[in-house]
Amino acid sequence: MSTFNLQIQSLNASHRAETHEMTELDIDAIIANFEKINWHQQRIQQLQMEGKSSIFNVTHNESQEYLKITLNAFSESEQFEFKLESNIQLIFPQRELFGLMTRKNKETFVIKQGNLEQALQSLHAFLNQDKPALETLYLKRKAKPISEVS
């Protein structure tokens, strides 16, 4: 069974950043910690502190792969916005020379403007070491229509 280390940087009512570190956690404990965070309160406190971020960072003990989820308090919409980043290398086939040649293209998993649902899906995929699910999430976000980006 895989175990994970968890580091949570949250902002408290006294407007100070606190870092909590936990080691040797299982998947259920990581999910429970993520779901108990009051993201609305974190967003308000982050706006008041101008620059401090709320960060949820999970590291897989065996592979040392990580998933870092950072709350963006300055998003333009009312929805929560997260930056999701990892050191996991995703490999995609890329056609070149009029589709006659295919080469493998490596990209690091990064989603700059993800919502809460995407953050939770990414966390589940990461914890279950489901790289195809991470690839799907990454490609969906990368193929986002231009009208949604602006």
Q: What share of the chain is helix, strand, coil (3-state, %, to 5)?
A: 30, 40, 30
105 token code pair: 């293209």
Please name the helix (run of DSSP H) or strand (run of DSSP E) that holds residue 150, with its range, or none.
none
Question: Which residue pairs, CB below 8 angstroms and at least 24 apart, start in 32-38?
Answer: 33/6, 33/8, 34/69, 34/120, 34/123, 37/8, 37/10
Helices and strands counted in the chain (H then E): 5, 6
Using the structure block, give the residue that is written with the tokens 């919409």: 77
pLDDT digits (tens, 9 = 90+) for 73-83: 887 777 889 99
Residue 150 reports pLDDT greater than 50 = no
Share of the chain above pLDDT 70, in %: 87
* pLDDT for the residue numbered 16: 67
pLDDT at 110 over 70: yes
Residues 11/45, Cβ–Cβ less than 8 Å:
yes
Tell me 20's DSSP state: E
144 confidence band (pLDDT: 50, 70, 90): low
What integer is the mean pLDDT of 50-59? 87
Which of 18-22, 43-47, 60-64: highest mean pLDDT? 60-64
What is the pLDDT, as a whole number, of residue 149?
A: 46
Query: Integer distance in angstroms from the first to the last C-alpha of the chain?
Result: 43
Amino acid 147: pLDDT: 47
Mean pLDDT across 92-116: 80
Query: Do 66 and 10 touch, CB atoms closer than 8 A?
Result: no
Instruction: Please give the average per-residue pLDDT across 30-59, as a whole number.
Output: 88
pLDDT tens-digit readout, 8-32:
998 775 656 788 999 999 999 999 9
